[in-house]
Structure 1
């Protein structure tokens, strides 16, 4: 196993005891780490990270979680797009497991797919002995839907009482309710990690949190309050705030707020409570600049593999060579079929298909169909685009709503915004429907690694603050093409 990772020398807590920081800041369970740390400088133990590729910020987060200094209030790992949030959580789980022999760890996520991913990554780390980790599923889940690699962990989880004796348990937030049913004592788990915490509603998030001691238990919430929140269908529930995740609500509380004066030296947040990851390993700088400015205080750093993100800079269809963004203005007619409430724009669907064909059959920069994703907010538009792509033998291109793309990345993303009616002024929010949600916008434009193509009607989109900013960014960088611009944007054209 690994000895402790507590970074006492850089600890912001000036302790009362001897110079190495005896006693008061540690709970009982943390004494082992404390003693391990005294045996030598933590600096010498860099090699003890299970994942040697972690950056400094990620390592800092792991050390903070391991120190337990913030207990009992939740520690937040704020992970903007492509910054390696899950990688960091995996390392923290492994460190807690090995450094604190008495720890019992509950790891939750709002969805099965997210919980499965954590299980798979822990399995791949090869750092947990067999019989250590278990994946507990809801009784209604079918085995066919589960990846081969994690099925053995699921079988161990079939008897909930037996499962509760494992040291690392993985489940969805709502299935953590099974442990209440078997009468597991509060405080049984020493650590609870919630990954993708921004997508869990607060009551859902509280299910696992109720199983740790409110004195010595440690809670870690990992996610991004600027990306999609929980899916709430009831208008009434939304009006009362059920669509605000616990992560997002905490991040707006005084203890968790940005304070550049107080914490400027350590990332603008209180380092005891929040680590914000800022190194983005996904996107080209031209694609990262706008979301970084709109949502992340211009703090995101471009750290992606240059060979990947620059792979399409020479594509013959780019309006500006070396700048992998296209905003293609389309003034089509929007339509609905029969009684369907779902919109589609034939002109945009055809344009999407054209771009897909151009990319898949390009001479200079051919792109495999599996590397292209098409995001569009309306189910009808999804259907129309899929039909067109089937006709040109490009069925492998994924087409779906923003929700279906959260957490994923593609070499190329094409966004079809659909809404085109220019005279429905009464309620801007209604007529932009889907688009008026900045979180959806953020998720959509942060999926691509090497190329983003946006199709839409500038006369409509100029009224949405996010798409308006994207239009300005595209025009000033010379990558706008297509229909005439609305008068207020024309002066920006060179």
Structure 2
């Protein structure tokens, strides 16, 4: 059907006098006549293009526009892939390309006489391939007229559209309002987006800028290459779609104000206020009998303190009732970098198939030519570790890290809990520095700041201190400075770097070993200043099983000239990449069969008492994990039957008040006995409530939840639905933190005969038997 965009004159600042006529059709009824009628209006072959997407990020419609006409094509939701094998070829059957899609490909998408321009054309290109099995030729991303690091901003979009010569800013913001606005874009919206792209590139002063931009041409890319790029891009889109649109910020109740700004103090790092161009802060306050709402944006953050630029009058004094951040957070530097690398690859500005590490991971069928290693003095790897004796599996792991063989250029080391992963890292560093070339540099990288700190403390423990630990000012200042007291001699905060190479050299002091998080390797100060003096040659990733494989792409690009060896240490039986619970297709390198089959297994754990280690070996590691431990008694693992404990919903989380009472009493007992303990619970609401209760009872509460410790107290929280416990990987982490003993707080019926009976915790309860169960009055707790 055809109709006029009635809202055109309301949205367009300077526009053609003729209205745009829209053909709004479904893919099944595309005909040559429809396409010919549309293309007849494409003067010079220029066509604007836009797209809409479903909640799962798949393509739902495409719009094409010229000055006076638009064509909107809707597509059916993609069906689940057919996994049946083709008996003749032994390959999976490819989804069919419908006649309408073929016409669309031949007449528009790959027509050599058509030049396509669109917003986020990289996303459109990979969606065409993934969802419709279609390619595109001569497509231009209009945002490429702007610097890559500012590509997602509203001002970048305004600049790409020719500023307010075309559309008012407020209307651009409404029209391109992001992917999760309340109302899905209509056919009118997407047609107008395509029309705006067309008009921008035909403005006299903008045309020269667009003429020099690189074109996306996926029709010439090998399937395997485009498949890799498309998966990296789509996974990133889905991860972004999971980001919350609202966050309740934990802040102190009193605020101050000056010069039109309100200053708030955050009290919790996870929910801290952060600066963002896309988010709005709403403060509900109490002033006398009134409860005004103050609206603004975070203009600056300094540690815990955030300055909010507000609209309207500010109450002279009052109490904060609540603070909420609305809107999706900006992309991190690492997320921006990944998106930009994919864009440049699609545009042909870089060819990732020339990167041997990229091919080894994503395209192993390619012929790989490895760059020469920094030559070591020794022809055979020599292991040096004064911190103790390595077992056979640890020693072999270190040898493979030191190895110069091409088969070990990309090396996976599978390390279950307590098998000495940080010991292997420390021994590798010491061995390289003692026996290797004096030019060889090592970067030790992990997903989290805590994991990086743990590696640093391990090096410090074996009296090696010739390294530098890079920490972002946002994580360190005012929040986690106490974690680094032991490591002050080696910490460099990101704000300490400057553009002067001499100043950077003074900070680094000729070190050859650098520690930082993976995210920091997209920090321009690290790329341009630190890595210029300490090039990334050998890089060892800890927690690699928690890293989504696409997150390595910026590293492969930024450091392609210096990179010589990559080692990935992790355990795919423990924490998965963020979002895998919601996005099963997310992968770490440990899910890549061609890499996993060559992984080295660390086979002996020293952390857990024998009764727990033996259970975990049988039920998680196929009997392959050995235990060496001096505690060989069954009372190292006990269950506490919390009578009457009931789960209760708390926001998006859960809590169990009876378990909080029980845990507090256990904490009092452990403190009186001088035992080192930590409390583990899978739910934020329970964790917050436990911390508040411990604080009110004047018991240690800071840093007393999570991670490993001599004695572990577990709060399962749930009493009916299994929730968290259905994830065996996360449950495995929870059950493997203790060094001496573990008490699991739950209810007997829930884990023995109830919903949790078939979970890993339920199997542990069955294995331990009825004698493992305690009550709060059981004297065995005092002797456990």
Shorter-chain TM range is 0.5 to 0.7
Shift of 1:194: 0.9
**Alignment-derived partner of residue 714 in structure 2:** 415
1:18-40 per-residue CA deviation (whole Å, 9 max, x = no partner) reads: xxxxxxx9956346321xx5xxx
User: Do the aligned partners of 1:194 and 1:222 also contact (CA within 8 Å) in 2?
Assistant: yes
CA distance in 1, matches of 2:678, 2:457: 24
1:248-286 per-residue CA deviation (whole Å, 9 max, x = no partner) reads: 323xx14423xxxxxxxxxxxx4xxx3222222212111
**Alignment-derived partner of residue 687 in structure 2:** 382
CA distance in 1, matches of 2:376, 2:730: 45
**Between Structure 1 and Structure 2, whose CA radius of gyration is higher?**
2
CA distance in 1, matches of 2:498, 2:687: 41
Q: How many matched pairs?
A: 388
Matches within 5 A, 1:138-217: 138=472, 140-143=474-477, 145-146=480-481, 147-155=484-492, 158-159=497-498, 162=504, 166-178=511-523, 182=528, 188-211=535-558, 213=560, 217=564
1:337-388 per-residue CA deviation (whole Å, 9 max, x = no partner) reads: 7x72332223333333344445555xxxx352xx122222223323443455
CA distance in 1, matches of 2:488, 2:666: 40
**Alignment-derived partner of residue 771 in structure 2:** 478
Shift of 1:152: 4.5
Matched, 1:454 2:753: no
The 1:280/1:367 distance shift into structure 2, 3 A limit, reads farther
**Alignment-derived partner of residue 11 in structure 1:** none
**Alignment-derived partner of residue 759 in structure 2:** 465
1:101-139 per-residue CA deviation (whole Å, 9 max, x = no partner) reads: 23122221112222233334334544465xxx3333335
Shift of 1:66: 0.9
CA distance in 2, matches of 1:239, 1:79: 24
The 1:398/1:101 distance shift into structure 2, 3 A limit, reads closer
1:308-353 per-residue CA deviation (whole Å, 9 max, x = no partner) reads: x36xx6xxxxxxxx5322223445353547x723322233333333
CA distance in 2, matches of 1:71, 1:139: 39
Normalising by structure 2, we get a TM-score of 0.44
CA distance in 2, matches of 1:115, 1:175: 12
Secondary structure of the residue aligned to 1:100 is coil
Matches within 5 A, 1:319-358: 322-330=634-642, 332=644, 334-336=646-648, 340-358=651-669
Secondary structure of the residue aligned to 1:54 is coil
**Alignment-derived partner of residue 96 in structure 1:** 432
Shift of 1:418: 1.6
Q: Which segments of 5 or more consecutive residues in structure 2 lack a partner in the other structure?
A: 1-369, 776-784
Shift of 1:75: 0.9
**Alignment-derived partner of residue 471 in structure 2:** 137
Shift of 1:63: 1.3
Secondary structure of the residue aligned to 2:771 is coil
Secondary structure of the residue aligned to 2:744 is strand
Matches within 5 A, 1:230-379: 230-232=577-579, 238-239=582-583, 241-242=585-586, 244-246=587-589, 248-250=590-592, 253-257=593-597, 270=598, 274-304=599-629, 306=630, 309=631, 322-330=634-642, 332=644, 334-336=646-648, 340-361=651-672, 366-368=673-675, 371-379=676-684
User: Do the aligned partners of 2:681 and 2:716 also contact (CA within 8 Å) in 1?
Assistant: yes
Shift of 1:149: 4.6
1:84 to 420, 423, 432: 420
1:29 to 374, 378, 392: 374
Give RMSD over aligned pairs.
3.6
Q: Which segments of 5 or more consecutive residues in structure 1 lack a partner in the other structure?
A: 1-24, 258-269, 314-321, 422-430, 483-494
CA distance in 2, matches of 1:299, 1:138: 39
CA distance in 1, matches of 2:772, 2:733: 21
The 1:31/1:86 distance shift into structure 2, 3 A limit, reads closer
The 1:397/1:106 distance shift into structure 2, 3 A limit, reads closer
CA distance in 2, matches of 1:386, 1:28: 50
Matched, 1:109 2:452: no
User: Do the aligned partners of 1:72 and 1:216 also contact (CA within 8 Å) in 2?
Assistant: no
1:68-102 per-residue CA deviation (whole Å, 9 max, x = no partner) reads: 22446421222211111111101112222331223
Secondary structure of the residue aligned to 1:136 is strand
CA distance in 1, matches of 2:687, 2:613: 26
Structure with more strand by fraction: 2
**Alignment-derived partner of residue 223 in structure 1:** 570
CA distance in 2, matches of 1:51, 1:26: 33
Secondary structure of the residue aligned to 2:622 is coil
Secondary structure of the residue aligned to 1:92 is helix
